[in-house]
Amino acid sequence: MANFTEKVYKITALIPRGHVSTYQAIARALKNSHSSRAVGNALNKNPYAPKVPCHRVIRSNGQVGGFARGSAKKTDMLRKEGVAVKNGRIDLKNYLYEPKFKK
């Protein structure tokens, strides 16, 4: 069975271009809703970018959140993919992808 970090990468790789998911949604997909901080820590060390698009993972309140290359770079990458970012926020009603984890 894959370890936690590998599962996070597998789920994150499913997020389609032009959409975002949240740290919390990924934690829920892993059946551990209290692990959103651990999801963020795993993505901060992502060696598979851009195949594993960690820039598409945001905070559950719609804020862009952190990124190893800076939040301005993350915002720029999301906008280039067609995600509208206004005042550092994304409207989750229009762009949210809820991942489902398959073992």
Residue 54 known to be catalytic: yes
User: Of the candidates 89, 85, 99, which has an alpha carbon nearest to the alpha carbon of residue 53?
Assistant: 99
Structure-block tokens of residue 3: 């370890």
pLDDT confidence tier of residue 101, bands split at 50, 70 and 90 = low
Secondary structure (3-state) at 96: strand
CATH code at 4-95: 1.10.10.10
Distance CA 88, CA 54 (A): 17
Mean pLDDT, residues 67-81:
94
Sequence ranges of the domains in the chain? 4-95
How far apart, in whole angstroms, are the C-alpha atoms of residue 31 and residue 63?
Answer: 23
Burial of 22 (0-12, 13-18, 19+ CB in 10 A): buried
Express as a percent the part of the chain with pLDDT over 90: 83
At 22, phi and psi to the nearest 5?
-120, 160
Instruction: Give the mean model confidence (pLDDT) for residues 16-41.
Output: 94
Give the model's confidence band at 102: pLDDT under 50 very low, under 70 low, under 90 confident, else very high.
low
Distances (CA, A) of 34 to 11, 27, 30, 31: 17, 7, 10, 9
* Catalytic option among 43, 54, 57, 83: 54
The answer on pLDDT for 1 being more than 50 is no
Per-residue pLDDT reduced to its tens digit, 33-49: 899 999 999 999 999 99
User: pTM of the predicted model, to two decimals?
Assistant: 0.92
